[in-house]
Amino acid sequence: MMPMRRSVTKTLSAYAFGVVATLFAAAVPAQAQAPAAPAAAPAVTGSTLDAIRARGTLICGVGTGLAGFALPDSQGNWRGFDVDYCRAIAIALWNDPTKVRYVPTTAQVRFTALQSGEVDILSRNTTFTLSRDTSLGFDFAAINFYDGQGFMVKRSLNVQNARQLDGATICVQPGTTTEQNLADWARGARVQIRPVVIERLEDNLAAYNAGRCDAYTTDVSGLAAIRSAQANPNDHVILPDVISKEPLGPLVRHGDQRFTDLVRWIHFGLISAEEFGITSANAQQMLASDPRPDVQRILGRTAELGRMLGVDNAWMLNIIRTLGNYGEIFERNLTPIGLQRGRNALWTTPGGLQYAPPFR
Ligand SMILES: N[C@@H](CCC(=O)N[C@@H](CS)C(=O)NCC(=O)O)C(=O)O
């Protein structure tokens, strides 16, 4: 049998080589890739929570458009899993999910947008890493999606696993863990790859679809989103290999603990609601009649948990009534793009990692 390396590289054209060379030359060094030269501390001082309240709107940094996570619908309303976390914060603060302004950010510019105060929070496929937590000056409020990096190829290439990508061109976005993991993986697996580094998701996809890359690499959730939006999803295969850990979650500026706490406990509230069977359909009724003290505390009838966070005690009741629990948010946004709960199942399910500390 002919080695896969040759069969993959056969798909390369001389034109593709030119594009790779040009893109490499033009690539801006990735911010997250520069641990030796940490970015400056955040430019913003003062309380984010106070600033948000005074403004009356949350400014949420999202992606530029990824099905299931953050994408404007036909009426121009942003929808998706990451968007629902922004809406949940607005509900906790004002019981109004519309009080959010969405700012699309590429992977490359997102951290500057948060550091400079252009956005209050990034709710946007962002992986929890040590350097982002420390030298970039941020805090990950929660891990709301456990992910890992994978590869997508055209089915017609007949590639079965990542090792067969030896010699392939691979489309990737700069400023991402994706770009770093790809290089690490290639080194470790002694596989030669040629990255094609393009900043904007849509340009990257256009390059992949035009055959300028043999494969596309990003978080598996992103691959599912991209594949679902292809003209013929079935023409593309997500390979079984997962080459990294990508714990994704909402990111805020370091040193703003009240805001961090609020975002963190919204996530825990969504997880706890699922654990206790509280849904958008039954929350009101459970408030009235469920005897379990946990349920009564989450829904704000007893204890003062909302007030401890600086919001109304009905914060979780309002969030769950409007958006549902974590499972409902997952099902509404991510099940349609082909994602399964997997590691994002509750801890009460074998293999599930989603776990919330006690509401008391
Ligand atoms: N999780 C990785 C990758 C994040 C990332 O930006 N992924 C891309 C590919 S799915 C994305 O979300 N793009 C959306 C966009 O650029 O609008 C990271 O934090 O570095």
297/153 same-domain check? no
If one residue of 173, 197, 220 were mutated to test the ligand 1 pocket, choosing by the most ligand atoms within 8 A of its CB, it would be 173
Task: Give the pLDDT of residue 193.
Answer: 96
Q: Supply the pTM of this predicted model.
A: 0.90
- Taking the centre of ligand 1 as the mean of its atom positions, its distance from the CA of residue 126, in whole angstroms, is 7
Q: State the total domains in the chain.
A: 2
| Domain-terminating residue out of 195, 217, 242 | 242
Angle, helix 326-333 to helix 257-275, in steps of 10 degrees: 90
Q: Using alpha carbons, select from 319, 320, 328, 332 the residue that is nearest to residue 346.
A: 328
CA distance 315 to 88: 9
Asked if residue 235 belongs to a domain, the reply is yes
In a domain, 26, yes or no: no
| pLDDT tens column, 10-39 | 333 333 333 333 333 333 334 444 433 445
CATH number of the domain to which 214 belongs: 3.40.190.10
Q: Is the CB of 173 under 6 A from ligand 1?
A: yes
Which of the 8 DSSP states describes residue 39? P
3-state secondary structure of 129: coil
Do 155 and 236 lie in a common domain?
yes
Cβ neighbors of 243 (< 8 A, separation 6 or more) are 148, 149, 150, 162, 181, 182, 185
Cα 207 to Cα 271: distance, rounded to the nearest angstrom: 38
Best residue among 146, 182, 218, 244 to mutate for probing ligand 1's pocket (most ligand atoms within 8 Å of CB) is: 218
In-domain check, residue 134: no
Instruction: Tell me whether residue 229 is in a domain.
Output: yes
Whether residue 214 is found in the same domain as residue 280: no
Judge whether 174 lies within some domain. yes
Residue percentage of the chain with pLDDT more than 70 = 88
Distance CA 162, CA 164 (A): 5
**Is residue 65, in this structure, part of any structural domain at all?**
no
Tell me the average pLDDT of the chain: 90
Average pLDDT over residues 191-206: 96
Whether residue 171 is found in the same domain as residue 312 = no
> Is residue 70 domain-resident?
no
DSSP-based three-state secondary structure for 261: helix
Q: pLDDT digits over 79-126, tens only?
A: 999 999 999 999 999 999 999 999 999 999 999 999 999 999 999 999
In a domain, 277, yes or no: yes
Same domain, 170 and 234: yes
Same-domain status, 153 and 238: yes
- Same domain for 222 and 287? no
One domain, residues 237 and 153: yes
Tell me, yes or no, whether 317 and 174 share the same domain.
no
Q: Do 299 and 215 share a structural domain?
A: no
- Coil, strand or helix: which one is 18? helix
CB atoms within 10 A of CB 265: 24
d(CA 302, CA 98): 28
Q: In this structure, which residue's CA is closest to atom 6 in ligand 1?
A: 107
234 and 155 part of one domain: yes
Residues 157 and 10 reside in one and the same domain = yes
Domain that residue 173 falls in = 4-18+149-242
